[in-house]
Structure 1
Amino acid sequence: SADRLSKASQELLASYGKLGGGLTQLSKAYADTQAGQAALAAGLVEVESGLGGLGQTYPELQKDPDYIRLQDSVSGMKTNAAELSAGLKQLNGQLAGISGGLEQANAGLSRAAAGQAALTKGLASLSQGLAELQDGLGQAAGGQSRIMAGLPALSGGIDGLAAGQRKLQSGLAQLNDQLGELASGLDQSVSGLGQVTDGLQSAQSYLDELAGSPDKQLTGWFIPAEAIARSGFQAALDVYLSEDRRIAKFDVVFEGNPYELNTMAKIDDLKAAADRALQGTPAGGGAEVAVGGVTSVNEDLRSISAADYSRTVVLMLIGITLILILLFRSVVIPIYLVLSLLLTYYTSVAIAEVIFVRVVGLSGISWAVPFFGFVMLMALGIDYSIFLMDRFKEYRHLKPAEAILLAMRKMGSVIMSAALILGGTFAAMLPSGVMSLLQIATIVLCGLFLYALVVLPLFIPVMVRSFGEANWWPFMKREGVGGTELRGKESLTG
């Protein structure tokens, strides 16, 4: 760690201090030795000089081997001493350099030790900073996650911004072009304002003529005399006015089918609109309004048919009731016979309504169908009723329940055969393709089979059994019991 490194640096600094002191002492010792060697070399020079002088004094010594060896030894020692002195001098110089280097090293180590101490403190601060940095990195990681999550939206926004800039660039280009067009249009508007001014003057002149029109009822419809005199205007008048210009004709085209009830109902609205238009005009008092065309003709026929239908229903019901009263000498029997016919008729009309409106999809039954359907169904139905009830009248001496059963047994096949024959006759109208005939045939067929299969076999016997002897009220009464039983047996066996 930094603390151990600092301690080791302190110990190394102390060791370098001791080493520097030892080198200083060694350098001094080498200096003393070098001085001694220098003195020895000087002494050996003197010895050698003395031996040379001794050889000159005593020439015979130059031949003495010992003298020669001594002289060689002294010379070698002198040389060695000189070399040793030079080496020691060089060594002292190197030791001086090493001592200087050690001093520099000691100074450097001192600074290094101080730096290591500062480094230790810095490392402590660095450790604390690293902890804070780790916390900051955690927060930065969270922020980075949020940034990464927001990058797609940012990318989309940048793309949208780029697209918007392109659109803006395109729009600016178009705006530049349109500014040119605007400038051109302003030039044209200047000339157009002049034309508007001329038109306003013409309009003012026209309004002055209109205000001076003598016919106040036609205010707003003033036509200048020169326009009336034009051939084109006269040709237009020929389309809508008669030759004497006393009759005006207008063509009105309805959106719907001219044969539909909704379309025909608009004829009255059309007449009312024409009457309102004539009010307050010179021709309003004595003018006549007439409506023609397919829709108007059908509406007139429908109105006539509706009036005739109501009148016919009343007259037929009264006439049939009176005839039945005279025929059966009873008031009760005609009442429930007429009621059964009315029930059959309205049920048949309801069935036809379901077929042609709900199933086929028409707007309604044709206006002519109820009238003819009522007449035919009432006439045919009353015939079948007379067949049955006339035979019932023949057995009036029997009890009503027995009499009606016997009458049904005798007349059932006749009535069913007649219903089948007439049903086939009216069924032949179905392939015609004429909607009115189809609807009339449907109502008559439904009424015939409903009356022959349901009303006569079920409803009439129930009414006869319910009223009993009151069926003959108030004109006829059954004969005595004895005679009744005898004739009843003859009728049942015969």
Structure 2
Amino acid sequence: QLQQSMSAMTEAAAYLQTVGRDASSPAASGFYLPTTILNNPTFETAATMFITPDGHTAMYLVQSSLNPYSLQAMSLSQQMQQVGRDATPNTALAGSTVSVGGFPAINSDLRTAFNRDFTEIIIATLLIIAIVMCLLLRSVVAPLYLLGTVILTYLAAIGLGVLVFQQLLGQEISWAIPAMTFTLVVAVGADYNMLFISRLREESVRGTRIGLIRTVHHTGSVITSAGLVFAAAVMGMMAGSLLQMAQMGFIIGCGILLDTFVVRTLMVPAIAQAFGDASWWPSGRK
């Protein structure tokens, strides 16, 4: 019985391999199974794993050479589903449902939901931070350019991540990384800038220029030390074996370092000097 079963399965496998080799030919569209295979009890037993007892649902196993966790595999799962749906009209399968399962399909659905929610995350995060800044500073102008610098920091950090991982190392940035890093980079950057600008308002009684000098002098070492400690902590994630963790640690760490040494040290003081007393509108600096 075992020899007979192996013989029948070998015959079916050989036929399917032939179909696979000729699948690119228009003449080989569709497939045909000989009656001898369909009537084979062993083949019938194996078919029950792919066809429901009522005969209304069939499952196909599709294998590719792509990494199942890659963006290409997710795109392939979407294309397979669309091709299956486009093939059903004007056939006996019209009105049937075509679905794709497996890790690529699951990740594709998660990515779609994640991208949809990412816009809401950005809007909610920036809106909450802006409201808090406006209330604490009693100003509208300063919070706007502070948020602008933080967003630029985040974009620069993402750019560095793409440069290092995708261009230099040949590893794709995970589709979930931009949303996962956005909140941390923006929140920490806004926090450091808030500490700086709050001290600037206190020190600007005698003028913005003097206030900037005193603010940088008094807060420079504290904020710089905090930024270094936080960046070192998150970059420790790069020592892990998970690629997503390493990417997230690198991008967040780069964002914090950029905010500490470029944005808070150079950009914010320069913009504050350019706006002068207008930074504290409408309440004024006192």
C-alpha displacement at 1:230, in angstroms?
4.0
Letter in 2 for 1:288: T
C-alpha displacement at 1:254, in angstroms?
2.1
67, 75, 79: which one pairs with 1:265?
Answer: 75
State which structure, 1 or 2, has the greater radius of gyration over its C-alpha atoms.
Answer: 1
Distance in 1 separating the partners of 2:228 and 2:161: 19
Q: 2:159 matched to which residue of 1?
A: 350
- For structure 1, the 5+ residue unaligned runs are 1-219, 480-494
Answer yes or no: is 1:310 the counterpart of 2:111: no
Query: Structure 2 matches for 1:91-170, cutoff 5 A?
Result: none
Q: 2:147 matched to which residue of 1?
A: 338
Q: How has the CA–CA distance of structure 1 residues 258 and 228 changed in structure 2, closer, same or farther, with 3 Å as cutoff?
A: closer
C-alpha displacement at 1:365, in angstroms?
0.5
Q: Per-residue CA shift, 1:381-432, capped at 9, x if unaligned?
A: 1110111111122234231222222222221111112112112211221110
More helix by share: 1
Answer yes or no: is 1:423 the counterpart of 2:223: no
CA RMSD of aligned residues (A): 2.1
Q: 1:172 matched to which residue of 2?
A: none
C-alpha displacement at 1:236, in angstroms?
4.2
C-alpha displacement at 1:374, in angstroms?
0.8
Identity across matched positions, percent: 30
Preserved CA contact (<8 Å) 2:78 2:105: no
Q: 1:152 matched to which residue of 2?
A: none
Name the structure, 1 or 2, with higher relative contact order (CA <8 Å, separation 6+): 2
Q: 1:237 matched to which residue of 2?
A: 47
Distance in 1 separating the partners of 2:88 and 2:258: 54
C-alpha displacement at 1:349, in angstroms?
1.0
Q: 1:456 matched to which residue of 2?
A: 264
* TM-score, normalising length: structure 1: 0.49
Distance in 2 separating the partners of 1:424 and 1:452: 13
Letter in 2 for 1:300: D
Distance in 1 separating the partners of 2:104 and 2:262: 40
Distance in 2 separating the partners of 1:440 and 1:224: 54
Q: 2:102 matched to which residue of 1?
A: 293
Distance in 2 separating the partners of 1:478 and 1:387: 16
- For structure 2, the 5+ residue unaligned runs are 1-29
Q: Per-residue CA shift, 1:417-460, capped at 9, x if unaligned?
A: 21121122112211101100111111111111111011111100
Preserved CA contact (<8 Å) 1:401 1:464: no
Preserved CA contact (<8 Å) 2:204 2:210: no
Q: How has the CA–CA distance of structure 1 residues 386 and 276 changed in structure 2, closer, same or farther, with 3 Å as cutoff?
A: same
Letter in 1 for 2:223: I
Distance in 2 separating the partners of 1:456 and 1:315: 24
C-alpha displacement at 1:260, in angstroms?
1.6
Q: How has the CA–CA distance of structure 1 residues 478 and 355 changed in structure 2, closer, same or farther, with 3 Å as cutoff?
A: closer
Q: How has the CA–CA distance of structure 1 residues 433 and 222 changed in structure 2, closer, same or farther, with 3 Å as cutoff?
A: closer
Distance in 2 separating the partners of 1:222 and 1:440: 50
Q: How has the CA–CA distance of structure 1 residues 240 and 461 changed in structure 2, closer, same or farther, with 3 Å as cutoff?
A: same
Distance in 2 separating the partners of 1:245 and 1:423: 58
Q: Paired residues, what number? A: 257
Distance in 1 separating the partners of 2:37 and 2:253: 66
Q: How has the CA–CA distance of structure 1 residues 282 and 469 changed in structure 2, closer, same or farther, with 3 Å as cutoff?
A: same
